Structures are given as C-alpha cells and as structure tokens.
Amino acid sequence: MSSLTAKDLSFAYAKQSVLEKVSIDLLPGSLTALVGTNGAGKSTLLRLLQGQLDPNKGRVTINGHPLIKARHQVALMPQRALLNWNFPITVKELVSLGRVNHSRITCCEIEASLQRVGISKVAKKRIDSLSGGQQQRALLAKTLMRPASIFLLDEPCAALDPPARTEFLTIIRQLADTGLTLLVSSHDWGKSLNAYDKVIALDKTVLASGSPNQVQEKLNSISCMGNHCCD
C-alpha cells in the first residue's frame, strides 16, 4: 500500500500557467475524486503525479520518496477517447498490453485482471464490439496489469450512461477497499461524488478538499461570496 503527496505543484505550458501551488495527499486504500471544469488542469495534474511531466515548482513523493525513484508504483489510465477502438484486437490482447516492462505475462494474470473488472466473459471479443462501459472496464483491466499500488484515472465515467457509471464506481470502490489508492478525475458534481472518500475541487489551484459534504459546503461559500449574497 502506498501514499502519494504533492506539495506546491506549479506548471505552465510555455508561459501559460495551468496549475499553481497545488498540494494534495492520497492515502492507501482511499478513493478520491478530482473535479473541475474543462481547462481546470485535471489531466495535467494527473500527468505530473505519474511523472510524465515535471513540475516547474513543487514536488511529488511516494511514501516519502521522490517520485523519480518510485514511479513504478503509479499507473495512469488515459481517457477512453484517446484510444483507437477500431484497432483489430481482442479484449484479452488489449489487456496484455498493460504489462509495459515486457516481462512474461500469463493467461492467469490476464484472466485475474478481467475478473477484477467483471468482463472475463468478453475476453475473446474484439474491442470495437464493446459497449462504452465495457471499453472503460477493459481499459481499467489493462491499467491494472501494471505492478502499481496508486492508480490515476482520467475521466473514466465520461459519456457513460447512469447504469454503466454506477457499475464502474462500484468496481473502483471495491479496488480501493483492497488497499489500492485511486484518484479519479471527473466533470461530475452530482450525487455520485458521495461514493468517494474524498473530493478535491480544482481550478488551477485547489479550491476545496475534504469529504463530499465538506467540499460542497466550501464551494457554496465561495459562490455566495462571489455573488455577494451574504451582504
């Protein structure tokens, strides 16, 4: 089990600031939602936490160690829309690609990953025949092939219908309950946030962090102050 801490992260593309002094803590076995609008910096933050990008300022540590020495413990699941789902491979073949270090992979390992996300019955189907919810589970199964304990999921519930979204949330809740640490970015500000242990509201910086109720109260307070409704 691993914890992740980011301290005062700042990042800019060219001279355009994207994130400013972002600090977060992710605890072992926790399920955390990262919410914000388009352009809030969610995807950039996930890439910083996984080591794909280097911050202009600040640092990321895993169990107190610099990220560069523990990057193997962090896996990033990209947005589903970034993949070519017309590629002629099966679900089983897609999942096998998750082992990036080229070590030998067994059919039992692939089956175990498919079972964890509940799609072992479609292992031999081509990925272009799957529903959106099944594609998202297949992508998660692929990500779970990494020998990591911290998983960063970029918009995994985007474009899913309510039943598929509920099923996916149930799966990631179960994964967190096994001791994995999950950070899930989302546009969703609705009741589904109650499924999370913690919510981080981001808009280039952390607006609020805490339980779903605490974050909602803080954001309502910010909105109230902006609209001068307390005058």
Nearest to 151 by CA among 75, 44, 50: 75
Tokens standing for residue 96: 């096998």
pLDDT band at 14 (very low <50, low <70, confident <90, very high): confident
Q: Which CATH architecture has domain 4-83+148-226?
A: 3-Layer(aba) Sandwich (3.40)
Question: What value does the mean pLDDT take over residues 206-222?
Answer: 89
215 vs 211: CA distance, rounded Å: 6
Q: State pLDDT tens for residues 60-83.
A: 999 999 999 999 999 999 998 888
Is 229's pLDDT higher than 50?
no
Q: Which of 89-103, 133-147, 149-163 has the lowest mean pLDDT?
A: 89-103
Angle subtended by helix axes 132-143 and 107-116, to nearest 10: 130
Is 50's pLDDT higher than 50?
yes
Select the highest-mean-pLDDT range: 23-27, 162-166, 183-187, 222-226.
23-27
pLDDT band at 218 (very low <50, low <70, confident <90, very high): confident
pLDDT at 171: 95
Domain boundaries, the chain: 4-83+148-226
Q: State pLDDT tens for residues 128-153.
A: 999 999 999 999 999 999 989 999 99
Question: What value does the mean pLDDT take over residues 223-230?
Answer: 50
Question: What value does the mean pLDDT take over residues 20-39?
Answer: 95
Query: Residue 142: CA atoms inside 13 Å, Cβ hemisphere, count?
Result: 25
Is 224's pLDDT higher than 60?
no
